[in-house]
């Protein structure tokens, strides 16, 4: 017998179950529709952003701008990434950073734009507040980080000293001493013991000792047998690495990290403290020495620190210790990294192109082992090879300016007041429009005319900058590189260790991330680069 109450209960349960099922069905259906709408919206944003790549060079994402592409570029070879974009965009493109950042800028590798920037409208393109603020903790407010009258006064003083006979004699003597009493013994020891060396590290030690002697009149002894760890050299390298990170980090973030003493900013502060401690000690010692010397003794010293100690600022007062520290740090940074980094890439290129050396067999084997200044000047092919290395791997791969007043570049790019302009020196060496279809080949002959070295326009070959800010130490750098390279090549063949990785490290100068590991072989003196 069927119980009516049971039927009623069962019907009620069925109804309730169906009602709940329908609610759940429509609930999930609604969620699916929302999800589809969200996915469709995201796909639309992605397609729209990617469609802008052809016109703008990189995808432009909402809020983030081109930052995702920059992050990916930094993970590999940043300079090749920039070059790919610039070559696709005919030499110029605008980088759009996140809404909340100061990373917006115009990036160019067009020689016409560089001539406008560095020469024609030079006063309209200073380093600018952004650049000065980013590197001020390390470089202060002197020559390489200064603008206007401050920069002009300091450059004039430094220029007079750089071109003085006494200064040239000091640099030549110190380099001769360092190469023959330190560099060559270190290389000979590695050869005799059949051990690999990091040539980039060796060359950095050489140029650091040399420039410290020129700037401070102090020998830190980095390039001694045993290759001791020098806290000052380590502090310099750490400081430059931490400083360059600021250029790819939103200003508000790195300033917050500096305030909280975190991450790279903590490393930077600690490194700068080490640099300051060294500089302050040297300045104190030098002042004490000078106070105890006669006028004639003071005139005999020609290092930059002593020269600037004898000068007055615009108000007629002696320069402050902070200024003296900054001027020496600037010159050490410029003189240490540029030549050593260039030589490192140069020797790597020689290993990749051994025929460059073998084809040059007109070297006189009777030439003395210690090259004289007049002999170095005659090494045109060597200067051509070094220039070709700098064309492909410039020591300063990118540089920056800021626009004071609205302007327009030769290629038609509009420049608004406050715009940051990045000029990609690395990219210029890889543009067919500038150097021809063989632009990526290492070919020193492109610098020779009837066997003599012929320089190129500073707006085509910008390794030493151009215009009023043309590198003061250009001649010094070439002499330093040629003397060190000739002394090494005359004696040794550098063979790069098999499968050694070749990756540039993001920094103010173009370090190799993994150094340059080489094995040394004794050179047959009939196969020499001249």
Complete edge-to-edge strand list for the sheet that includes strand 105-108: 92-95, 105-108, 420-424, 398-402
Q: Give pLDDT, residue 18.
A: 56
Q: Poorest-confidence range of 55-59, 101-105, 202-206, 400-404? A: 55-59
Over residues 116-138, mean pLDDT: 91
d(CA 181, CA 169): 18
Residue 215 pLDDT grade (very low, low, confident, very high; cuts 50, 70, 90): confident
- State whether residue 436 is helix, strand or coil: coil
Among residues of the chain, what percentage have pLDDT more than 70? 84
Among residues of the chain, what percentage have pLDDT more than 90? 40
Q: Which residue has the tokens 């100061």?
A: 102
Over residues 14-23, mean pLDDT: 51
- DSSP code, position 520: E
Higher pLDDT, 168 or 519: 519
d(CA 393, CA 277): 33
d(CA 241, CA 175): 27
Could you report the per-residue pLDDT of 391-413, keeping only the tens digit for each? 999 999 999 999 999 999 999 99
Over residues 75-89, mean pLDDT: 88
* Phi/psi at 200 (5° precision): -60, -45
Q: Which residue has the tokens 């016409």?
A: 112
Q: Poorest-confidence range of 58-67, 116-125, 180-189, 194-203? A: 58-67
Q: Give pLDDT, residue 22.
A: 54
CB 311 within 8 A of CB 295: no
166-175, 219-228, 330-339: which is most confident = 219-228
What's the number of CA atoms in the CB half-sphere (13 Å) around residue 16? 6
Tell me how far CA of residue 366 lies from CA of 229, 363, 490, in angstroms.
38, 9, 11
CA 186 to chain CA centroid, nearest Å: 27
CB 160 within 8 A of CB 361: no
Residue 449 pLDDT grade (very low, low, confident, very high; cuts 50, 70, 90): very high
Nearest to 198 by CA among 520, 517, 523: 517
* Phi/psi at 211 (5° precision): -75, -30
Nearest to 213 by CA among 342, 336, 340, 372: 336
Could you report the per-residue pLDDT of 460-504, keeping only the tens digit for each? 999 999 999 998 889 889 999 999 999 999 899 999 999 999 888
- State whether residue 141 is helix, strand or coil: coil
d(CA 514, CA 73): 18
Q: Give pLDDT, residue 1.
A: 46
Over residues 424-444, mean pLDDT: 95
d(CA 515, CA 199): 7
d(CA 132, CA 145): 6
Nearest to 279 by CA among 322, 312, 313: 322
d(CA 519, CA 496): 6
What is the token pair recorded at 258?
């500096």
Complete edge-to-edge strand list for the sheet that includes strand 517-522: 197-198, 517-522, 492-496
Long-range CB contacts (within 8 A, 24+) of 98-101: 98/63, 98/64, 98/65, 98/67, 98/250, 99/63, 99/65, 100/250, 100/252, 101/65, 101/67, 101/250, 101/251, 101/252
Could you report the per-residue pLDDT of 166-208, keeping only the tens digit for each? 888 888 888 999 999 999 999 999 999 999 999 999 999 999 9
Q: Give pLDDT, residue 360.
A: 47
Q: Which residue has the tokens 């109450």?
A: 5
20-24, 73-77, 332-336, 463-467: which is most confident = 463-467
Q: Give pLDDT, residue 369.
A: 67
- State whether residue 521 is helix, strand or coil: strand
Could you report the per-residue pLDDT of 361-372, keeping only the tens digit for each? 444 544 546 788
- Written as one string, the DSSP assignment of 303-344 is SHHHHHHTSB-TTSSBPPHHHHHHHHHHHHHHHHHHHHHHHH
Average pLDDT, the chain: 83
Residue 427 CB partners (closer than 8 Å, separation 6+): 79, 82, 83, 86, 87, 109
Q: Poorest-confidence range of 335-339, 431-435, 451-455, 512-516? A: 335-339
Residue 299 pLDDT grade (very low, low, confident, very high; cuts 50, 70, 90): low
CB 483 within 8 A of CB 369: no
d(CA 460, CA 397): 14
What is the token pair recorded at 506?
């993001």
- State whether residue 184 is helix, strand or coil: helix
Nearest to 463 by CA among 306, 342, 337, 284: 342
- State whether residue 491 is helix, strand or coil: helix
- What is the tally of helices (H) and strands (E) in the chain? 21, 11
């Amino acid at each position: 017998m069927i119980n009516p109450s049971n039927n009623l209960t069962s019907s009620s349960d069925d109804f309730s179950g169906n009602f709940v099922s329908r609610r759940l069905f429509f609930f999930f259906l609604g969620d699916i529709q929302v999800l589809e709408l969200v996915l469709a919206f995201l796909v639309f944003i992605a397609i729209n952003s990617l469609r802008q790549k052809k016109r703008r060079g990189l995808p432009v994402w909402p809020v983030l701008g081109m930052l995702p592409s920059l992050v990916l570029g930094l993970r590999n070879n940043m300079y090749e990434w920039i070059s790919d974009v610039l070559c696709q965009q005919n030499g110029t493109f605008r980088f759009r950073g996140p809404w909340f950042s100061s990373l917006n800028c115009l990036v160019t590798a067009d020689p016409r734009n560089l001539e406008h920037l560095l020469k024609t409208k030079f006063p309209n393109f200073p380093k600018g507040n952004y650049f000065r603020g980013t590197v001020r903790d390390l470089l202060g407010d002197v020559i390489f980080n200064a603008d206007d009258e401050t920069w002009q006064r300091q450059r004039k003083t430094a220029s007079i000293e750089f071109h003085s006979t006494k200064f040239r004699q000091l640099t030549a003597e110190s380099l001769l001493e360092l190469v023959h009493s330190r560099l060559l013994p270190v290389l000979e020891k590695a050869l005799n013991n059949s051990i690999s060396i990091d040539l980039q590290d060796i060359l950095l030690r050489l140029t650091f000792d040399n420039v410290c002697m020129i700037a401070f009149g102090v020998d830190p002894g980095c390039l001694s047998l045993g290759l001791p760890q020098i806290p000052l050299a380590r502090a310099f390298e750490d400081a430059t690495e931490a400083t360059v990170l600021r250029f790819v980090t939103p200003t508000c973030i790195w300033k917050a990290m500096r305030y909280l003493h975190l991450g790279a900013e903590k490393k930077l502060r600690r490194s700068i403290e080490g640099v300051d401690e060294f500089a302050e000690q040297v300045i104190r010692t030098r002042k004490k020495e000078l106070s105890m010397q006669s006028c004639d003794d003071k005139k005999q010293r020609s290092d930059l620190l002593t020269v600037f100690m004898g000068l007055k600022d615009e108000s007629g007062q002696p320069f402050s210790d902070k200024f003296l520290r900054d001027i020496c740090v600037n010159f050490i940074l410029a003189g240490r990294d540029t030549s050593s980094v260039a030589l490192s890439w140069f020797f790597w290129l020689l290993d990749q192109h051994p025929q460059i050396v073998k084809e040059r067999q007109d070297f006189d084997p009777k030439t003395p082992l210690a090259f004289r200044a007049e002999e170095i000047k005659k090494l045109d092919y060597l200067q051509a090879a070094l220039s070709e290395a700098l064309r492909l791997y410039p020591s300063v791969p990118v540089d920056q300016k800021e626009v004071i007043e609205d302007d327009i570049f030769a290629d038609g790019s509009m420049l608004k007041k406050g715009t940051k302009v990045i000029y990609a020196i690395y990219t210029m060496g890889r543009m067919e429009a500038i150097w021809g279809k063989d632009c990526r080949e290492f070919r020193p002959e492109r610098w020779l005319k009837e066997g003599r070295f012929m320089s190129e326009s500073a707006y085509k070959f910008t390794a030493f900058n151009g215009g009023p800010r043309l590198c003061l130490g250009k001649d010094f750098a070439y002499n330093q590189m040629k003397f060190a390279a000739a002394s090494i090549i005359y004696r040794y063949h550098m063979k790069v260790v098999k499968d050694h990785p070749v990756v540039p490290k993001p920094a103010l100068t173009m370090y190799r991330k993994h150094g340059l590991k080489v094995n040394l072989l004794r050179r047959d003196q009939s196969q020499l680069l001249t």
